[in-house]
Each structure stands twice: as structure tokens, then as C-alpha cells.
Amino acid sequence: SKTPQIPGPPPHPFVGHTLQVPTVKTWKYFEKLYHEYGSIVKLTLAGDDIIVLSDPSDAEELLGRRSHNYSSRRPLVYAGKYQSKDQRLVLLPYGEVLKRQRAAFHQMLQPRVVGAYEDMQDMESLRLLLDLATTPADWSHHCGRFAASLVFTLSYGQRLNDDGKDLAAVQGILANFIRDTYPGAHFVDTFPILDRLPDFLSPWRAEAKRKHNKEVELYTRLASGVKSRMEKDLGMECFAARLWDQQEKMNLTPEELSYIAGSAFEAGTDTTTGTILWFFMAMVLYPETMKRAQEEIDSIFCSDTVPEFSRMNDLPYCFALVKEIFRWAPAAPGGFPHYSDADDEYQGYIIPKGTMVIPCIWNMHHNEAEFPNSYTFDPERFLTSKRRNGNGADSLTEGHYGFGFGRRKCPGQYLAAKTIWIAVVRILWAFNIEPHNDSSGNVNPENCTSGMTSKPNDFPVNIVPRSAAHVETIMLGHEHA
Ligand code: HEM
């Protein structure tokens, strides 16, 4: 009998779905497909077979239980082979190098050790409060700086310089990287055979290598800086320091080591920033929710005590609110594509080797059966016993799918969840986030950037201190930090 075909829109005979799939906000197109064709949909895009999964149980089966086969990434000639010299974790195919790098990440970022970063989170979030109190109009810049500085400190054990040079340099790399990995960004990734052409016919190759050299220069400078500081400060604690300690055991070249530390920065900055910006939008749109969270915070912390991690479990509504941010506005809504290494069969469908499998987080978070009124921001949904998933910091990452699946699941998830928690609770403790006269048209979840990650486009808000006493506590806290 004939093998059933995976449902999907009819392809064009020559170009498949290439012309149908929008390159902006692709997740909204996936949402349409989900309603039309169901939770497993197939597309052919620029020669690639793509399967979009919208039901978490399919993603858990394929990317989780069958992770030995679905943990690779589609090879990218430009961004993978030349720009990253196959050393960049996010793009690595499944294999020894990936396992080594994931192990390094795991050592640094597993739940048992993320407690060690609470001091950094404490200090950086205080600085965020100070910045918001001092120049509230620049709020989105402050949120970006907070996220960047935190991951930077984690990686290199020192805060970002105030001159903004390192920040600008890494943000430049990040912007390139996001552009260069986007499907269709480089012709050679649609037609890898072009890689056989000699250099004089392939100016893109020299360009990618130039980018690589620039990245290596920055990342090795930062990582070597840590090495020299370690000689003076034996107890120095940061990602790069741990990697230097383990360099021989883990068999890492200095260049690879530098890339690993750099990867944390690349993967952690934009996603964390986006999540915080979405939080601001949610607060403007749902003032009642904000008030309820503030009442809860006020019942534990008065104006002279800055909220602390130690009381996380005493703030169940805030806990649910953080989970709801991850659900309502996932920072990577389209989901990161995984890639299969062998032919497989699932529910009677053939999934050939070399298929891109995309867990569409957006669709999973808008499944009305699991999340009724899914477009409404409502922390209440995480307060029912079924969805609560415990209340330790690690369970902030449960009950939603914002951190991906299987062996490629976000290794920074525990750190990220605590970062968002402390930022959210402290901001709500100190400020009211109110609509701005000019903001009405802009405060709309549809008004966002598009790419692997998504953030709201800039919109004005009023950030108003809740009392002079709160501001004084922030100032005092900052002086002592
Ligand atoms: C709110 C913040 C964050 C969100 C929403 C987020 C989400 C994600 C998602 C959806 C993936 C793809 C998972 C998959 O392929 O199935 C991912 C991968 C990754 N994340 Fe995060 N992330 C966040 C913060 C961080 C932080 C702070 C770090 C590091 C300190 C980090 C490091 C990484 C790395 C290295 C990968 C690639 C893993 C791999 O390819 O094996 N992330 N993240």
C-alpha cells in the first residue's frame, strides 16, 4: 500500500514552497498551516524538507525520546563552515564536538551550580533598577544592557565596560550571526555545490572568513584576559575560567574554548532581552495583573528591602507570571530547527534523513486545549495544580516549551529563568509600568521584530517609581553593591 504523505500545502513543481513561505514572522504562517493541515506539516523550502511540529507530544517523541536521530543541525556552509569553522555550538551537527561543548555548558549551567550566579544577578538587576530610575525613557536600552552585562559577567568574570566598546563589538557579531543563519541568507546554503567554486568566483567565502577572524580576535582576547587574571586571582569564578581549568581534560583548543564562552553570550543575550521587553508590554496591556503581582510583592517586601531570591516560593503569583511571559511571548517563537541523521518512520509517515524538524513553540503555546484563551496574558493558568509543576527555581522552565526540546534544549534555561524572575520581581517592586500618551498604537504584540528571536519593536512607556522610599533603597543598595 502507498505510504501516507505528511499533510501540507500543495508545492510548486519546481520551487516547492519557497515562494509561499514568508521570510518575516514565519511562525504566523506556521500557525495558519496548523489550523489548516494539523499538527504535523511538511514543506519543501529551497530544496530542504521541513517538518513543522505543533503538538508538544510529537516533539517530545521525536526530538526527545528519539533524540539520537534528531539532535543535529542543518549544515550551513557560510555561517557554519567558514564563519564559525565548525566550532559554534548552536550550529554544530550532532557528534563528538557537540557533546564536548554541551558537557562544558552543562557543567556551568546545570541547576545545581546556577545558585553561584545569584550575586551577579543581584548586582546587575540592582543596576537595572538604578538605570530605570535615572533615565526611564531609555528603558529598552537598559534591559538590553542588563541581559548583555549579565551573560558577559558569567562568561568572563568582569562587568561590561561603561564605554560600550565590548558591548558594541559582541552585538555586531550577534547581528551578523542572526542575519547569516537566516534561511535563504546565502545562496551557497541553498545550493551547497557552489562551495566547489574557486575563491575568485566566491567573494562570499573571503567575507565569511573575515568575519571568523574578527570573531576569533574578540573572543580570544576576552578569554585570554580571563587566563591572565586567573594567575593573580586563583579563586576566579566564571565560564571561561572553568573552561581553562578543564582545557586539557576536555581536549579544547584555545580557539574552541574562546568560541564556547562566546556562544553563551550570543545565545543568551538576545533571548533574555526579548523576554524582558515582552514583560513590559504585558504589564502595559494587563494593568490588573501588574497590580495583583505588586500586592503580592508588597505583602513580603516593604519599600526598604529589595526582593531577594530566597523568597521565591513565597510569591506564587509572580512565579506564575514569569512562566506566563515565557508562554505568551516566547523569545524564539518559530523554534530552532533540528535536523535528522537517518531515515525514520513516525505515525506511518516516512521522515527521510536530512529533514529539518522545527518544534514550533508559537503554535504549541497557542493550543487552545492546553492554554485556553491563549492570546490573553493570564498567570492564573499556571496556578492550577495541574500546571504548577512545583515551585523550585528550575520549575520556571516547565509547563511551557520556550526553551526547546531534547538534547539541543537550551543549556542556559535555569540561569535565564532566574534572571527573568529577579528582574521582573524587582521592577514590579520598584515601579509602575504605565501606558504612555504616544504608545497606544504601538503596544501590540503583533508589533515585533522577526528572525530566530522576536522582540517587541520599541514603544514608549512611563516608568514611575512607586515611592521615593523605593528609589532611596535602590540608591543605597547600589552604593553597597
Ligand atoms: C529567556 C532566555 C532564553 C530563552 C527563551 C532561550 C531559548 C532557547 C531555545 C528555544 C533554544 C533552542 C533549543 C532547541 O534547539 O530545541 C536555545 C538554545 C541555546 N541556548 Fe538558550 N535561551 C535563553 C537564554 C539562554 C542563556 C542565558 C544562555 C547561556 C548562558 C543560552 C544558551 C543557549 C545555547 C548555547 C543554545 C544552543 C544549544 C544547542 O544548539 O545545543 N540560552 N535557547
- ipTM of model: 0.99
Those residues with Cβ within 8 angstroms of residue 53's Cβ, 6 or more apart along the chain or in another chain? 39, 40, 59, 62, 63, 357, 358, 359, 360
56 lines ligand 1 (CB under 6 A): no
Instruction: Tell which wins on pLDDT, 292 or 242.
Output: 292
Q: Kindly give the distance from the C-alpha atom of residue 174 to the centroid of ligand 1, in angstroms, as a whole number.
A: 14
Per-residue pLDDT tens over the stretch 150-209: 999 989 988 887 777 888 888 888 788 777 877 777 888 878 888 898 888 889 999 999
Residue 404: its H or E element: none
Instruction: Tell which wins on pLDDT, 439 or 173.
Output: 173
321 lines ligand 1 (CB under 6 A): no
Q: Say yes or no to pLDDT of 218 above 80.
A: yes
Q: Are 261 and 219 in contact (CB under 8 A)?
A: yes
Q: Say yes or no to pLDDT of 421 above 80.
A: yes
Is 410 assigned to a binding site? yes
Q: Say yes or no to pLDDT of 130 above 70.
A: yes
pLDDT, averaged across the chain: 90
Q: Whose CA is nearest to atom 6 of ligand 1?
A: 403
Q: Whose CA is nearest to atom 43 of ligand 1?
A: 410
Indicate the pLDDT class of residue 389, thresholds 50, 70 and 90. Answer: low
pTM: 0.94
| DSSP 8-state symbol, 449 | -
Q: Say yes or no to pLDDT of 1 above 60.
A: no
% of the chain beyond a pLDDT of 90: 62
The whole-number pLDDT of residue 144 equals 92
The whole-number pLDDT of residue 414 equals 94
Ligand 1 pocket: which of 271, 327, 361 to mutate (most atoms <8 Å of CB)?
271
Q: Whose CA is nearest to atom 36 of ligand 1?
A: 410
Per-residue pLDDT tens over the stretch 41-68: 999 887 789 999 999 999 999 999 999 9
End-to-end CA distance of the chain: 71
404 lines ligand 1 (CB under 6 A): yes
Q: Say yes or no to pLDDT of 423 above 80.
A: yes
Q: Are 211 and 78 in contact (CB under 8 A)?
A: no
Give the separation between CA 339 and CA 357, rounded to whole angstroms. Answer: 6
